[in-house]
A and B are shown apart, each in its own frame.
Chain A
Amino acid sequence: MKFGTNLMLGGALFAMVIIAGIFAPWLAHTDPVMAADLMYAEEPPGSAFWFGTDAQGRDIYSRVLYGARISLTVGIVSQLINTVIGVCLGLSAGYWGGWWDDFVNGLTNLMLAVPSLIFALAIMAILNPGLTSLLIALGLTNWSFTCRIARASALSLKSQGYVQAAKVLGYGDLRIMLTQLLPNMLGPIIVIGTLGMGGAVLAEATLSFLGLGIRPPFPSWGSMLSDAREQITTAPWISIFPGLAIFVTVLGLNLLGDGLRDILDPHSRSRRA
């Protein structure tokens, strides 16, 4: 794909989802939770109901718009938590070394040994379903890649002349890490963060689909699909639109991440995977 295409296309898709989420109250036709009317149950898509209606007669178009809010909140916030944890652990481990480095390494290996969806599922099993639990479950389980990158960058950067100079000038460890090391590793970390956001959106949808994330009647794309399973024979459109929304969001974030990598992390361009 041509340089820049990824970035433009991904950015456009993601911007579309953000706009849908922010302006949902103005763009939606009906209330996503309360406006149920069994008279209009399972209406196919048409001029009145753009995406059709579900088994309770709720407008799917409105519910998909509001669903963007949940997906984006979970995607952005949980990935921010992951990034902060990963950077703090990786940066300090790489810079300080010693027993702390061994400890962080062990922890990272442990996290890598458990598939992150299983880990998140276990946490959701302990906490009660809901938005806060989702943010915790997804925010705590996907920092290992960020941590590895931050650690590797800190290891290679700490012997650089300017870092040594800062040390001679009497900068404290924290100041060196924040002002000298961090800015120089931001590129790859932003890339991983963007891709991770897509992963978090998928994970939220998956957990909600399994009944462990956002519970109905709140319009999460995953739980909408979980409901739609029952009506797949009579009303397939109930399944199509929420899934399409997840796909577009994650695709946008993946393309955006690829595009950002071309710009921010040019060394990896040749070995781009």
Chain B
Amino acid sequence: MLSYLVRRILQTVPIILAVAFLVFVMFSVIPGTFAASLSDDGRAIVDVTVVERMNKEFGLNDPLYVRFGKYVGQLAQFDLGMSFRTRQPVTKVLADRMWPTLQLSFAAMLFAIAIGVPLGFIAAMRSGSFVDTISMVVAVSGLSLPKFWLGLLLMYLFALVLGWLPSFGYGDGSLRYLILPSIALGVAPMALLARTTRAAVLDIMNADFVRTARAKGMSESRVVRWHLTRNALVLILTTVGLQFGTVIGQAVVVEKLFSWPGIGSLLVDSVTLRDIPVVQGAILAIVLFFLFVNTLVDVLCAVIDPRIKYT
């Protein structure tokens, strides 16, 4: 078990390195530096000597391979460089933004699981019924809704018309502020989970071992509890893991819409400002999180399902 865990973790190392390399190369070929972009946007008039000094300060005049070497060296020490804009270490900037993003993603996934899994279960148990049709209509609609539009509508209805919840911002970090953005973010994974759960349960209901269990007179509630739920769990869990990563990626737009102070809104702002070290750091953080969750899910699946071998 432990060796399986270690191996799974080691497998992610080349991917992390490749992503770091890709991100680094991509942002090194951009024409125009941060200093130059300051004057482009008319935010500040920067003269040539300042541009030169900034390039020197951030080592932007070195050749690409020297810069990548330095970057990897720093990365090994968990140093992501310094923000061009605020001159704070990127790790600190990211650390400040990490918690709100985690809060939002967890809340969204919680919403998705709490609604999606039961919905899929009920739909499968009453396959072909009115309930099934309705829940699948809900699911396909949920997958087609643009998150920022749903967010806008929620904002309009619950914050502006009804006045029940704050329209945007993080506030004091209380639950009231979390509800609308997490629903906007959670509807798509909810829809997908409902579909996956329904398909998984339908599949298992036709499996031989379920028919055998019924034939030997096992009560329906035991069949559901022991055979259906446990077997469906592996598929559901895998979907949850994959969706978690997607949610972290999609959080970008929801955070931006609700002015949520997370990694996603940091990423968008840094892209607009060409604050490259922060952009690189934010992308790496998102990818790391995505890999972490999926490794965790793989290990959990191996624990739940004895058929999965630790190889």
Interface residues of A (CB under 8 A from B): 1, 106, 109-110, 113-118, 121-126, 198, 202, 205-206, 209-212, 222, 225, 228-229, 232-233, 236, 239-240, 242-243, 246-247, 250-251, 253-255, 258, 270-273
A-contact 0/1 string along B252-265, CB 8 Å cutoff? 11001100000000
A-B contact count (CB 8 A): 137
Partner of A232, one of B14, B141, B156, B272: B156
Within the complex, the shortest CB–CB distance from B23 to chain A, in Å, comes to: 7
A-B contact pairs, 29 of them (CB 8 A): A1-B133, A1-B137, A110-B15, A110-B18, A113-B290, A114-B286, A114-B287, A115-B286, A117-B250, A121-B271, A122-B279, A124-B271, A125-B279, A209-B146, A209-B253, A222-B146, A222-B148, A225-B148, A225-B152, A240-B153, A243-B152, A250-B146, A251-B140, A254-B143, A254-B144, A255-B140, A258-B140, A270-B206, A273-B192
User: Are B146 and A246 neighbours in the complex by a CB distance under 8 Å?
Assistant: yes
Interface residues of B (CB under 8 A from A): 14-15, 18-19, 22-23, 26-27, 29-30, 133, 136-137, 140-141, 143-149, 152-153, 155-156, 160, 192, 195-196, 198-200, 202-203, 206, 245-246, 248-250, 252-253, 256-257, 267-268, 271-272, 274, 279, 283, 286-287, 290-291
If A115-B246, A247-B145 touch, whether A273 touches B253 (CB-CB below 8 Å) is: no
User: Are B249 and A117 neighbours in the complex by a CB distance under 8 Å?
Assistant: yes
User: Are B153 and A243 neighbours in the complex by a CB distance under 8 Å?
Assistant: yes
User: Are A210 and B203 neighbours in the complex by a CB distance under 8 Å?
Assistant: no
Within the complex, the shortest CB–CB distance from B184 to chain A, in Å, comes to: 12
Partner of B23, one of A122, A229, A246, A271: A122
Within the complex, the shortest CB–CB distance from B125 to chain A, in Å, comes to: 16
User: Are B252 and A121 neighbours in the complex by a CB distance under 8 Å?
Assistant: yes
**Which residues from chain A contact B15 at a C-beta distance below 8 Å?**
109-110, 113
Considering only CB atoms, which chain A residue lies closest to B245 in the complex?
A115
**Which residues from chain B contact A124 at a C-beta distance below 8 Å?**
271
Considering only CB atoms, which chain B residue lies closest to A123 in the complex?
B26
If A115-B249, A116-B249, A254-B144 touch, whether A271 touches B199 (CB-CB below 8 Å) is: yes
Partner of A210, one of B152, B160, B253, B291: B253
Sorted nearest first, the 4 A-B pairs with minimum C-beta distance are: A115-B249, A243-B149, A251-B144, A250-B144
Considering only CB atoms, which chain A residue lies closest to B188 in the complex?
A202
**Which residues from chain A contact B195 at a C-beta distance below 8 Å?**
273
User: Are A117 and B144 neighbours in the complex by a CB distance under 8 Å?
Assistant: no
**In the docked arrangement, what's the CA distance between A236 and B154, Å?**
12
**Which residues from chain B contact A272 at a C-beta distance below 8 Å?**
199
